[in-house]
């Protein structure tokens, strides 16, 4: 500070030192669905609304649609904080048309006139509207179906000539909707067409290549493709560091395994079969994603985000939509078959229990759902806790303050059992004079999460050594 004459005493506040880091909330559920009888004032369409464990507030959703039963299922597990997105039920000439219109409302997007988020994308507005970020996403009733009539691939029949990369496009037309693709051009010819969105509802479709060239033709292949809602939620989950609880088809083990094969992300957790819930005295099958989301929230609050939800009781169900046999230690039982293929299921052992630790990750490093969530919570907590560090001068004290703050946080997590250990340090190679001169500073940190005891082995030895005890 500049020197100035002073006859007296002054106090200069030094704003250096490490800052405490608080873990972000991990147990906030994002729920998307329909409720045609809802109070439109309390639950406006395509708007994030917080239901903080209040059944009285949830009652304003009415009795019809997917949301009332889903919120009830969540609250059967815990008084969770739920960000509710209500979408309109579709209209149409028949049930198929209504279902298709409802699905379009769930998928949503961005309003072209106002720029407002709609459908599942309204979850992205929760941070701005409510100051909360949902970490556990589900849309019961809309995530169990494989999409019928999607574009599975587009084969190039003739490459043509004269096309240029970047300006060549392909239009997919037919009686379905939503399919999109990109074109690869090499030496003026179309060499490949990649489907980026398979769309839905096609029974016939054609692809037309447009651009500076001519002569390119292609054939569209149709079939069943991955669930459109989960695919849409996945982009949101990756942006917000959330996980998706997806319902399996609820029909057969083979169908559940085929459904799981559509995904390779550690942010997708598939649960099958459905649960039986008593409604008006009669057990009825109900997707379990909302109850599993509530169970995860309960575990977060009771034990911590680093705990697996597996082997915990699911409240409010009286059975499953199909029998899943389970014998502890039997590698050939149906429950183990589903778990082996990364499908979580429900077993009956002192109540009905969620059984399965594994996400749909194609990378074994992120196989366990709890590992993915532990990394998410730590990464997001550190990112949000360092707004104070942005735009400060990069000095030795600055490096020490940031490093010590992170190390103190990692020590705290270790003491809680959230991690086995961790460390932060400034990167000596990346923190070069050139990078620092551009305002760039780099810190490394590592940690080891606790892993769930999925496979326990007792090695049994029959010996005669203890006969001496009776002599």
Task: Dig out the tokens for 435 from the structure.
Answer: 């990078």
pLDDT at residue 8, rounded to an integer: 64
Is the pLDDT score of 10 beyond 80? no
The predicted structure's pLDDT at residue 470: 81
Q: Which long-range contacts (CB under 8 A, 24 or more apart) does 254-260 make?
A: 256/338, 256/341, 256/343, 257/338, 257/341, 257/343, 258/146, 259/144, 259/146, 259/227, 259/343, 260/341, 260/342, 260/343, 260/360
Q: Average pLDDT for residues 300-329, to the nearest whole number? A: 96
What does the pLDDT average to over 26-44? 97
pTM (two decimals): 0.91
3-state class (DSSP) for residue 371: helix
Residue 406: per-residue pLDDT = 96
Count of residues for the chain? 471
Per-residue pLDDT reduced to its tens digit, 74-83: 999 998 999 9
Q: What pLDDT shows up at residue 360? A: 98
Edge-first strand listing for the sheet containing 214-225 = 169-174, 205-210, 214-225, 147-161, 189-200, 177-186
Whether 70 has a pLDDT exceeding 60, the answer reads: yes
Q: Residue 367: what pLDDT?
A: 98
Lowest model confidence (mean pLDDT) among 19-23, 437-441, 443-447:
19-23
Q: Does pLDDT of 1 surpass 60?
A: no
pLDDT at 80: 93
- Asked whether the predicted pLDDT for residue 125 surpasses 90, the reply is yes
Task: Please give the pLDDT value at position 455.
Answer: 96
Q: Which of 141, 143, 123, 128 is nearest to 28 (CA)?
A: 123
Q: How many CB atoms lie within 10 A of CB 453?
A: 9
Question: Average pLDDT, whole number, for the chain?
Answer: 94
Residue 23, pLDDT > 90, answer: no
Question: 194 forms bridges with which residues in the sheet?
Answer: 182
**Over the stretch 81-104, which tens digit does the pLDDT of each residue have?**
999 999 999 998 888 889 989 999
Q: What pLDDT was estimated at residue 7? A: 64
- What is residue 326's predicted lDDT score, i.e. its pLDDT? 96
Q: Choose between 470 and 316: higher pLDDT.
A: 316
Give residue 403's pLDDT band: very low, low, confident or very high (50, 70, 90).
Answer: very high
Contact 157, 217 (CB under 8 A): yes
Write down the domain spans for the chain: 1-19+390-471, 29-144+228-366, 147-225
Write out pLDDT tens, residues 346-399: 999 999 999 999 999 999 999 999 999 999 999 999 999 999 999 999 999 999
**pLDDT of 187-239, one tens digit each?**
999 999 999 989 988 999 999 999 999 999 999 999 999 999 999 999 999 99
Q: Is residue 118 predicted with pLDDT exceeding 80?
A: yes
């Amino acid at each position: 500070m500049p020197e100035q004459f002073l006859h007296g005493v002054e106090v200069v506040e030094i704003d250096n030192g490490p800052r405490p880091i608080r873990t972000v909330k991990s147990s906030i559920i994002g729920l998307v669905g329909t409720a045609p009888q809802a109070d439109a004032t309390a639950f406006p369409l395509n708007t994030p609304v917080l239901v903080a464990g209040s059944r009285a507030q949830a009652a304003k959703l009415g009795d019809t649609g997917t949301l009332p039963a889903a919120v009830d299922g969540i609250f059967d597990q815990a008084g969770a904080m739920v960000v509710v997105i209500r979408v309109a039920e579709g209209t149409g000439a028949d049930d198929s048309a209504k279902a298709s219109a409802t699905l379009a409302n769930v998928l949503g997007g961005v309003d072209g006139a106002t720029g407002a988020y709609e459908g599942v994308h309204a979850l992205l507005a929760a941070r701005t509207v409510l100051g909360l970020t949902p970490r556990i996403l589900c849309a019961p009733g809309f995530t169990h179906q494989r999409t019928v009539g999607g574009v599975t691939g587009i084969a190039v029949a003739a490459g043509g000539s004269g096309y240029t990369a970047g300006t060549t496009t392909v239009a997919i037309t037919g009686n379905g909707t939503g399919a999109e693709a990109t074109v690869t051009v090499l030496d003026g010819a179309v060499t490949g067409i990649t489907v980026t969105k398979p769309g839905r509802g096609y029974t016939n479709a054609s692809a037309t290549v447009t651009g500076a060239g001519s002569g390119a033709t292609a054939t569209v292949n149709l079939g069943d493709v991955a669930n459109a809602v989960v695919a849409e939620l996945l982009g949101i989950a990756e942006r917000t560091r959330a996980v998706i609880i997806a319902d399996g088809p609820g029909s057969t083990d083979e169908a559940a395994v085929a459904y799981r094969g559509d995904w390779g992300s550690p942010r997708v957790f598939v649960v099958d079969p459905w649960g039986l819930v008593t409604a008006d005295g009669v057990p009825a099958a109900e997707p379990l994603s909302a109850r599993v989301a509530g169970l995860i929230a309960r575990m977060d609050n009771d034990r911590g985000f680093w705990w697996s939800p597996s082997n915990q009781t699911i409240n409010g169900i009286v059975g499953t939509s199909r029998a899943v046999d389970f014998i502890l230690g039997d590698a050939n039982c149906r429950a183990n078959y589903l778990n082996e293929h990364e499908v979580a299921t429900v077993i009956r052992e002192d109540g009905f229990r969620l059984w399965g630790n594994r996400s749909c990750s194609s990378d074994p490093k992120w196989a366990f759902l709890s590992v993915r969530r532990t990394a998410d919570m730590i990464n997001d907590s550190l990112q949000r806790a360092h707004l104070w560090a942005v735009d400060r001068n990069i000095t030795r004290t600055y490096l020490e303050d940031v490093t010590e703050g992170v190390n103190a946080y990692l020590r705290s997590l270790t003491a809680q059992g959230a991690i086995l250990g961790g460390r932060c340090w400034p990167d000596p190679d990346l923190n070069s004079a050139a990078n620092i001169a551009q305002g760039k500073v780099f810190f490394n940190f590592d940690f080891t999460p606790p892993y769930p005891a999925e496979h326990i082995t007792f090695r049994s030895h029959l010996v005669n050594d203890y006969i001496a005890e009776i002599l």
